[in-house]
Protein backbone atom coordinates (compact mmCIF):
# COMPACT_ATOMS: atom_id res chain seq x y z
CA UNK A 1 0.00 0.00 0.00
CA UNK A 2 1.12 3.52 -0.68
CA UNK A 3 2.26 5.47 2.32
CA UNK A 4 -0.04 8.46 2.14
CA UNK A 5 0.14 10.10 5.54
CA UNK A 6 3.32 12.14 5.35
CA UNK A 7 2.75 14.65 8.07
CA UNK A 8 0.88 14.91 11.38
CA UNK A 9 1.20 18.14 13.28
CA UNK A 10 -0.42 19.99 16.13
CA UNK A 11 -0.98 23.73 16.29
CA UNK A 12 -2.19 25.73 19.30
CA UNK A 13 -5.78 26.66 20.18
CA UNK A 14 -6.00 30.04 21.87
CA UNK A 15 -9.76 30.50 21.93
CA UNK A 16 -13.01 28.72 21.12
CA UNK A 17 -15.83 29.23 18.68
CA UNK A 18 -19.40 29.46 19.98
CA UNK A 19 -22.03 27.56 18.05
CA UNK A 20 -25.80 27.57 18.17
CA UNK A 21 -28.05 24.54 18.25
CA UNK A 22 -31.19 26.49 17.31
CA UNK A 23 -32.61 27.24 13.89
CA UNK A 24 -30.94 30.48 12.98
CA UNK A 25 -32.84 33.41 11.47
CA UNK A 26 -31.20 35.44 8.74
CA UNK A 27 -30.21 38.92 9.81
CA UNK A 28 -31.09 41.82 7.55
CA UNK A 29 -27.39 42.62 7.30
CA UNK A 30 -24.61 40.07 7.72
CA UNK A 31 -20.93 40.58 8.45
CA UNK A 32 -17.56 38.89 8.30
CA UNK A 33 -15.38 38.15 11.29
CA UNK A 34 -11.87 36.75 10.97
CA UNK A 35 -11.11 34.03 13.47
CA UNK A 36 -8.24 35.54 15.49
CA UNK A 37 -6.47 32.44 16.80
CA UNK A 38 -4.46 29.46 15.62
CA UNK A 39 -6.48 26.27 15.67
CA UNK A 40 -5.27 23.08 17.25
CA UNK A 41 -5.70 20.43 14.60
CA UNK A 42 -4.45 17.24 13.05
CA UNK A 43 -3.26 17.76 9.50
CA UNK A 44 -2.52 15.02 6.99
CA UNK A 45 -0.66 15.71 3.80
CA UNK A 46 -1.71 13.35 1.03
CA UNK A 47 0.10 12.63 -2.19
CA UNK A 48 -3.09 13.23 -4.14
CA UNK A 49 -4.84 16.20 -5.62
CA UNK A 50 -8.20 17.56 -4.52
CA UNK A 51 -10.13 15.65 -1.87
CA UNK A 52 -13.51 16.04 -3.53
CA UNK A 53 -15.62 13.70 -1.36
CA UNK A 54 -15.64 12.73 2.32
CA UNK A 55 -17.92 10.22 4.03
CA UNK A 56 -18.03 8.68 7.50
CA UNK A 57 -18.98 5.11 8.31
CA UNK A 58 -18.38 4.17 11.92
CA UNK A 59 -14.69 4.50 12.63
CA UNK A 60 -13.82 4.77 8.95
CA UNK A 61 -13.32 7.96 6.99
CA UNK A 62 -13.74 7.44 3.25
CA UNK A 63 -11.96 9.93 1.01
CA UNK A 64 -12.67 10.41 -2.69
CA UNK A 65 -9.62 11.77 -4.50
CA UNK A 66 -8.27 12.07 -8.01
CA UNK A 67 -6.26 8.91 -7.36
CA UNK A 68 -9.02 6.67 -6.09
CA UNK A 69 -10.68 6.09 -2.72
CA UNK A 70 -8.88 5.93 0.62
CA UNK A 71 -10.58 4.23 3.58
CA UNK A 72 -8.89 5.43 6.75
CA UNK A 73 -9.38 3.90 10.20
CA UNK A 74 -9.66 7.03 12.34
CA UNK A 75 -8.90 5.10 15.54
CA UNK A 76 -5.36 4.49 14.31
CA UNK A 77 -2.51 6.66 13.12
CA UNK A 78 -1.92 5.16 9.69
CA UNK A 79 -4.20 2.19 8.97
CA UNK A 80 -5.81 2.67 5.60
CA UNK A 81 -6.88 0.87 2.42
CA UNK A 82 -6.69 2.25 -1.12
CA UNK A 83 -9.26 1.37 -3.77
CA UNK A 84 -8.33 2.46 -7.28
CA UNK A 85 -8.33 1.29 -10.88
CA UNK A 86 -5.61 -1.20 -10.08
CA UNK A 87 -7.63 -3.23 -7.60
CA UNK A 88 -11.28 -2.20 -7.48
CA UNK A 89 -12.59 0.76 -9.47
CA UNK A 90 -12.96 1.58 -13.14
CA UNK A 91 -11.79 5.17 -12.69
CA UNK A 92 -9.60 7.00 -10.19
CA UNK A 93 -11.53 10.27 -10.38
CA UNK A 94 -13.99 10.25 -7.47
CA UNK A 95 -16.84 12.72 -7.04
CA UNK A 96 -19.23 11.01 -4.65
CA UNK A 97 -19.23 8.54 -1.76
CA UNK A 98 -22.63 7.69 -0.28
CA UNK A 99 -23.86 4.87 1.94
CA UNK A 100 -27.01 3.03 0.89
CA UNK A 101 -29.75 1.54 3.07
CA UNK A 102 -27.69 -1.63 3.69
CA UNK A 103 -24.57 0.33 4.52
CA UNK A 104 -22.84 -0.32 1.21
CA UNK A 105 -20.67 2.50 -0.12
CA UNK A 106 -21.71 3.85 -3.51
CA UNK A 107 -18.83 5.46 -5.38
CA UNK A 108 -19.58 7.96 -8.15
CA UNK A 109 -16.66 8.26 -10.53
CA UNK A 110 -15.36 10.34 -13.40
CA UNK A 111 -15.97 8.25 -16.55
CA UNK A 112 -16.08 4.94 -14.64
CA UNK A 113 -19.75 4.89 -13.73
CA UNK A 114 -20.99 3.80 -10.33
CA UNK A 115 -19.25 1.23 -8.11
CA UNK A 116 -20.73 -0.48 -5.03
CA UNK A 117 -18.79 -2.37 -2.38
CA UNK A 118 -20.38 -5.14 -0.29
CA UNK A 119 -17.34 -5.68 1.93
CA UNK A 120 -15.85 -8.33 -0.30
CA UNK A 121 -16.71 -7.73 -3.93
CA UNK A 122 -17.21 -4.66 -6.09
CA UNK A 123 -20.24 -4.28 -8.33
CA UNK A 124 -19.87 -1.90 -11.26
CA UNK A 125 -22.89 -0.17 -12.76
CA UNK A 126 -22.62 1.61 -16.09
CA UNK A 127 -24.63 2.68 -19.14
CA UNK A 128 -25.59 -0.87 -20.25
CA UNK A 129 -27.45 -1.29 -16.95
CA UNK A 130 -29.41 1.94 -17.47
CA UNK A 131 -27.09 4.59 -16.01
CA UNK A 132 -27.47 7.76 -18.08
CA UNK A 133 -23.76 8.53 -18.15
CA UNK A 134 -20.44 7.21 -16.83
CA UNK A 135 -19.82 10.52 -15.02
CA UNK A 136 -21.60 10.32 -11.64
CA UNK A 137 -21.71 13.31 -9.29
CA UNK A 138 -24.24 12.58 -6.57
CA UNK A 139 -26.29 9.70 -5.15
CA UNK A 140 -29.26 10.17 -2.81
CA UNK A 141 -31.66 7.66 -1.25
CA UNK A 142 -35.36 8.05 -0.43
CA UNK A 143 -37.25 4.98 0.72
CA UNK A 144 -36.95 2.36 -1.99
CA UNK A 145 -35.71 4.91 -4.54
CA UNK A 146 -32.16 5.81 -5.46
CA UNK A 147 -31.51 9.05 -7.36
CA UNK A 148 -28.28 9.50 -9.32
CA UNK A 149 -26.90 12.73 -10.80
CA UNK A 150 -24.91 12.40 -14.02
CA UNK A 151 -23.65 14.48 -16.90
CA UNK A 152 -26.58 13.27 -19.01
CA UNK A 153 -29.49 13.86 -16.69
CA UNK A 154 -30.80 12.04 -13.63
CA UNK A 155 -31.60 8.39 -12.96
CA UNK A 156 -34.16 6.97 -10.57
CA UNK A 157 -33.69 3.33 -9.62
CA UNK A 158 -36.36 1.18 -7.98
CA UNK A 159 -35.69 -2.52 -7.51
CA UNK A 160 -32.81 -4.64 -8.70
CA UNK A 161 -29.86 -2.48 -9.77
CA UNK A 162 -28.79 -5.07 -12.29
CA UNK A 163 -32.18 -5.15 -14.01
CA UNK A 164 -32.64 -2.66 -16.83
CA UNK A 165 -36.33 -2.43 -15.98
CA UNK A 166 -35.48 -0.84 -12.62
CA UNK A 167 -33.96 2.24 -14.23
CA UNK A 168 -35.73 5.43 -15.25
CA UNK A 169 -34.12 8.48 -16.87
CA UNK A 170 -35.00 12.16 -16.46
CA UNK A 171 -33.52 14.55 -19.01
CA UNK A 172 -34.18 18.02 -20.38
CA UNK A 173 -35.95 16.42 -23.33
CA UNK A 174 -38.26 13.96 -21.62
CA UNK A 175 -39.22 16.45 -18.87
CA UNK A 176 -39.95 19.13 -21.51
CA UNK A 177 -37.36 21.41 -19.94
CA UNK A 178 -38.46 20.78 -16.36
CA UNK A 179 -34.94 19.59 -15.69
CA UNK A 180 -33.15 22.77 -16.69
CA UNK A 181 -29.87 21.13 -17.74
CA UNK A 182 -28.60 17.59 -18.30
CA UNK A 183 -25.35 18.35 -16.46
CA UNK A 184 -26.47 17.59 -12.90
CA UNK A 185 -24.09 17.94 -9.97
CA UNK A 186 -26.22 17.72 -6.81
CA UNK A 187 -29.50 16.24 -5.57
CA UNK A 188 -31.37 17.01 -2.35
CA UNK A 189 -34.57 15.23 -1.30
CA UNK A 190 -36.99 16.96 1.06
CA UNK A 191 -39.14 15.28 3.69
CA UNK A 192 -42.14 16.53 1.70
CA UNK A 193 -41.10 14.45 -1.30
CA UNK A 194 -39.90 17.35 -3.43
CA UNK A 195 -36.56 16.74 -5.12
CA UNK A 196 -34.05 19.48 -5.90
CA UNK A 197 -31.43 19.23 -8.64
CA UNK A 198 -28.38 21.48 -8.88
CA UNK A 199 -27.25 21.76 -12.49
CA UNK A 200 -24.96 23.73 -14.75
CA UNK A 201 -27.85 26.06 -15.64
CA UNK A 202 -29.46 26.54 -12.25
CA UNK A 203 -31.73 24.61 -9.88
CA UNK A 204 -34.72 22.45 -10.86
CA UNK A 205 -37.34 21.12 -8.47
CA UNK A 206 -39.63 18.12 -9.06
CA UNK A 207 -42.86 18.02 -7.10
CA UNK A 208 -44.75 14.94 -8.23
CA UNK A 209 -45.12 15.45 -11.96
CA UNK A 210 -44.64 19.22 -11.76
CA UNK A 211 -41.33 20.99 -12.34
CA UNK A 212 -39.98 24.43 -11.45
CA UNK A 213 -36.57 25.99 -11.89
CA UNK A 214 -34.45 28.97 -10.83
CA UNK A 215 -31.51 30.67 -12.50
CA UNK A 216 -29.85 34.11 -12.40
CA UNK A 217 -32.84 35.69 -14.10
CA UNK A 218 -34.97 34.53 -11.16
CA UNK A 219 -32.56 35.59 -8.42
CA UNK A 220 -30.00 32.78 -8.23
CA UNK A 221 -26.50 34.09 -7.40
CA UNK A 222 -25.20 37.56 -6.74
CA UNK A 223 -25.11 39.94 -9.73
CA UNK A 224 -21.83 40.27 -11.61
CA UNK A 225 -21.18 43.86 -10.50
CA UNK A 226 -21.22 42.76 -6.84
CA UNK A 227 -18.63 40.00 -7.26
CA UNK A 228 -16.46 40.98 -10.20
CA UNK A 229 -13.81 42.84 -8.21
CA UNK A 230 -13.56 40.15 -5.54
CA UNK A 231 -13.30 37.39 -8.18
CA UNK A 232 -10.46 39.04 -10.06
CA UNK A 233 -7.43 36.73 -10.30
CA UNK A 234 -9.17 33.70 -8.77
CA UNK A 235 -9.20 31.74 -12.03
CA UNK A 236 -5.42 32.05 -12.21
CA UNK A 237 -5.24 30.23 -8.88
CA UNK A 238 -7.58 27.48 -10.04
CA UNK A 239 -5.90 26.99 -13.40
CA UNK A 240 -2.35 27.92 -12.46
CA UNK A 241 -0.11 26.34 -9.87
CA UNK A 242 -3.06 25.00 -7.89
CA UNK A 243 -5.28 23.65 -10.61
CA UNK A 244 -2.91 22.80 -13.47
CA UNK A 245 -3.93 19.43 -14.86
CA UNK A 246 -6.87 19.16 -12.50
CA UNK A 247 -9.59 19.81 -15.07
CA UNK A 248 -11.58 16.75 -14.06
CA UNK A 249 -11.83 17.98 -10.49
CA UNK A 250 -14.08 20.92 -11.35
CA UNK A 251 -15.34 20.39 -14.87
CA UNK A 252 -16.36 22.93 -17.47
CA UNK A 253 -14.85 25.89 -15.69
CA UNK A 254 -13.10 27.04 -18.88
CA UNK A 255 -11.85 30.56 -18.45
CA UNK A 256 -15.05 31.97 -16.96
CA UNK A 257 -14.69 33.36 -13.48
CA UNK A 258 -18.39 34.14 -13.11
CA UNK A 259 -20.92 31.43 -13.88
CA UNK A 260 -23.94 32.38 -11.78
CA UNK A 261 -26.07 29.42 -12.84
CA UNK A 262 -23.41 26.77 -12.26
CA UNK A 263 -24.33 24.97 -9.03
CA UNK A 264 -21.16 23.51 -7.52
CA UNK A 265 -22.58 22.47 -4.13
CA UNK A 266 -26.00 22.22 -2.51
CA UNK A 267 -27.53 21.17 0.81
CA UNK A 268 -31.05 21.09 2.25
CA UNK A 269 -30.77 21.86 5.96
CA UNK A 270 -32.93 20.63 8.81
CA UNK A 271 -35.03 23.81 8.62
CA UNK A 272 -35.81 23.12 4.94
CA UNK A 273 -33.65 25.92 3.63
CA UNK A 274 -31.88 25.01 0.41
CA UNK A 275 -28.34 26.39 0.33
CA UNK A 276 -26.86 26.67 -3.15
CA UNK A 277 -23.16 27.19 -3.84
CA UNK A 278 -22.27 28.72 -7.20
CA UNK A 279 -19.18 29.25 -9.34
CA UNK A 280 -18.20 32.84 -8.62
CA UNK A 281 -21.73 33.97 -7.80
CA UNK A 282 -21.53 33.33 -4.06
CA UNK A 283 -24.06 31.54 -1.88
CA UNK A 284 -27.84 31.55 -2.36
CA UNK A 285 -30.44 30.37 0.12
CA UNK A 286 -33.88 29.36 -1.13
CA UNK A 287 -36.68 29.16 1.42
CA UNK A 288 -38.48 26.04 0.24
CA UNK A 289 -41.72 27.16 1.90
CA UNK A 290 -41.99 30.66 0.40
CA UNK A 291 -39.68 30.01 -2.60
CA UNK A 292 -37.92 33.32 -1.91
CA UNK A 293 -34.18 33.59 -2.56
CA UNK A 294 -31.40 35.58 -0.94
CA UNK A 295 -27.81 35.90 -2.05
CA UNK A 296 -24.57 36.25 -0.08
CA UNK A 297 -21.18 37.24 -1.47
CA UNK A 298 -17.84 38.46 -0.17
CA UNK A 299 -19.51 41.81 0.42
CA UNK A 300 -21.84 40.10 2.88
CA UNK A 301 -19.03 38.35 4.77
CA UNK A 302 -18.10 35.25 2.77
CA UNK A 303 -14.35 34.64 2.39
CA UNK A 304 -14.79 33.75 -1.31
CA UNK A 305 -17.48 33.66 -4.00
CA UNK A 306 -16.67 30.14 -5.23
CA UNK A 307 -18.70 27.87 -2.95
CA UNK A 308 -17.09 24.44 -3.27
CA UNK A 309 -18.59 22.57 -0.29
CA UNK A 310 -21.52 22.90 2.12
CA UNK A 311 -22.20 21.00 5.33
CA UNK A 312 -24.64 21.44 8.20
CA UNK A 313 -23.01 21.25 11.61
CA UNK A 314 -24.31 19.00 14.40
CA UNK A 315 -25.66 22.07 16.21
CA UNK A 316 -27.36 23.58 13.17
CA UNK A 317 -24.95 26.14 11.76
CA UNK A 318 -23.82 26.13 8.15
CA UNK A 319 -20.21 25.37 7.25
CA UNK A 320 -18.96 26.62 3.91
CA UNK A 321 -15.90 25.60 1.90
CA UNK A 322 -14.71 28.26 -0.53
CA UNK A 323 -11.77 29.24 -2.71
CA UNK A 324 -10.50 31.39 0.16
CA UNK A 325 -10.87 29.18 3.18
CA UNK A 326 -13.55 27.89 5.53
CA UNK A 327 -16.49 29.78 6.98
CA UNK A 328 -19.13 29.10 9.59
CA UNK A 329 -22.41 30.99 9.30
CA UNK A 330 -24.95 31.55 12.07
CA UNK A 331 -27.38 33.76 10.16
CA UNK A 332 -25.64 37.00 11.08
CA UNK A 333 -21.89 36.38 11.10
CA UNK A 334 -19.58 34.58 8.73
CA UNK A 335 -16.71 33.44 10.96
CA UNK A 336 -13.86 32.88 8.53
CA UNK A 337 -10.79 30.66 8.77
CA UNK A 338 -7.74 30.74 6.53
CA UNK A 339 -4.18 29.46 6.47
CA UNK A 340 -3.34 32.03 9.13
CA UNK A 341 -5.48 30.00 11.53
CA UNK A 342 -3.80 26.72 10.60
CA UNK A 343 -6.06 25.60 7.76
CA UNK A 344 -3.79 23.68 5.40
CA UNK A 345 -5.42 24.64 2.11
CA UNK A 346 -7.17 27.83 1.06
CA UNK A 347 -9.31 25.71 -1.29
CA UNK A 348 -11.89 23.71 0.68
CA UNK A 349 -13.43 21.04 -1.55
CA UNK A 350 -15.20 18.79 0.97
CA UNK A 351 -16.51 18.84 4.55
CA UNK A 352 -17.79 16.11 6.82
CA UNK A 353 -18.63 15.84 10.52
CA UNK A 354 -17.78 12.64 12.34
CA UNK A 355 -19.76 11.07 15.22
CA UNK A 356 -16.99 12.04 17.66
CA UNK A 357 -17.36 15.73 16.89
CA UNK A 358 -14.55 15.89 14.36
CA UNK A 359 -14.84 18.22 11.39
CA UNK A 360 -12.88 16.82 8.46
CA UNK A 361 -11.82 19.35 5.84
CA UNK A 362 -10.62 18.18 2.42
CA UNK A 363 -8.45 20.55 0.43
CA UNK A 364 -5.68 20.54 -2.12
CA UNK A 365 -3.26 17.73 -1.21
CA UNK A 366 -4.27 18.01 2.43
CA UNK A 367 -6.80 16.81 4.97
CA UNK A 368 -7.44 18.62 8.27
CA UNK A 369 -9.28 17.37 11.33
CA UNK A 370 -10.81 19.78 13.83
CA UNK A 371 -12.90 18.80 16.83
CA UNK A 372 -16.08 20.29 18.23
CA UNK A 373 -16.76 19.86 21.92
CA UNK A 374 -20.53 19.20 22.20
CA UNK A 375 -20.57 20.30 25.85
CA UNK A 376 -18.78 23.61 25.41
CA UNK A 377 -19.88 24.02 21.75
CA UNK A 378 -16.40 25.15 20.76
CA UNK A 379 -13.74 24.13 18.32
CA UNK A 380 -10.87 22.53 20.18
CA UNK A 381 -7.88 20.28 19.65
CA UNK A 382 -6.53 17.22 21.33
Note down pLDDT in tens along the chain; length 382 residues: 333 433 333 332 223 333 444 568 999 999 999 988 888 788 888 877 789 999 999 999 999 999 999 999 999 988 999 999 999 999 999 999 999 988 999 999 999 999 999 888 999 999 999 999 999 999 999 999 999 999 999 999 999 999 999 999 999 999 999 999 999 999 999 999 999 999 999 999 999 999 999 999 999 999 999 999 999 988 877 764 333 433 445 555 555 899 999 999 999 999 999 999 999 999 999 999 999 999 999 999 999 999 999 999 988 899 999 999 999 999 999 999 999 998 999 999 999 999 888 899 999 999 999 976 555 444 543 3
Q: How many Å apart are CA 193 and CA 162, to the nearest integer?
A: 26
Q: How many helices (H) and strands (E) does the chain have?
A: 2, 31
Instruction: Report pLDDT for 45.
Output: 82
Predicted TM-score (pTM) of this structure: 0.90
Pairing of strands 318-322, 325-329: antiparallel
Instruction: Report pLDDT for 350.
Output: 97
> Computed over its alpha carbons, how large is the radius of gyration of the chain?
20
CA–CA distance from 54 to each of 57, 104, 150, 310, 338 (Å)?
Answer: 10, 15, 19, 12, 20
Instruction: Report pLDDT for 172.
Output: 98
Instruction: Report pLDDT for 246.
Output: 38
Helix H or strand E encompassing 239: helix 234-239
Contact 163, 128 (CB under 8 A): no
Contact 265, 308 (CB under 8 A): yes
Domains (ranges, CATH) in the chain? 11-49+216-382 (no CATH), 53-214 (2.130.10.10)
Instruction: Report pLDDT for 138.
Output: 98
Instruction: Report pLDDT for 17.
Output: 39
DSSP-derived letter for residue 308 is: E
Instruction: Report pLDDT for 75.
Output: 92
Instruction: Report pLDDT for 357.
Output: 80
Q: How many Å apart are CA 102 and CA 141, to the nearest integer?
A: 11
Q: How many Å apart are CA 186 and CA 181, to the nearest integer?
A: 12
Instruction: Report pLDDT for 50.
Output: 86
Q: How many residues does the chain have?
A: 382
Contact 16, 380 (CB under 8 A): yes
Angle made by CA atoms 289, 290, 295, in degrees to the nearest 5:
110
At 109 the three-state DSSP class reads strand
Quote the distance between the C-alpha of residue 171 and its chain's center: 23
Instruction: Report pLDDT for 29.
Output: 97
Helix H or strand E encompassing 96: strand 94-99
Amino acid sequence: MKRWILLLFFSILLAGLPLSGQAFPLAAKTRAELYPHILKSDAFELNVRNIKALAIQGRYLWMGTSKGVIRYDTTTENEYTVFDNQNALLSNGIFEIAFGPRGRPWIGTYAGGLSLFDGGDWIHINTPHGLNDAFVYDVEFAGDETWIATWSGVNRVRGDLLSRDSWEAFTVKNTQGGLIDNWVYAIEIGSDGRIWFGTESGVSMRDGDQWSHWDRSRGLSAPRDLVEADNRGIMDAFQGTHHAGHGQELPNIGSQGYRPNYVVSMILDRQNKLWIGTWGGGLTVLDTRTLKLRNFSVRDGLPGNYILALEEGPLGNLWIGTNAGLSQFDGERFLNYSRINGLSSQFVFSLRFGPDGSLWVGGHNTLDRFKIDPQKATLHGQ
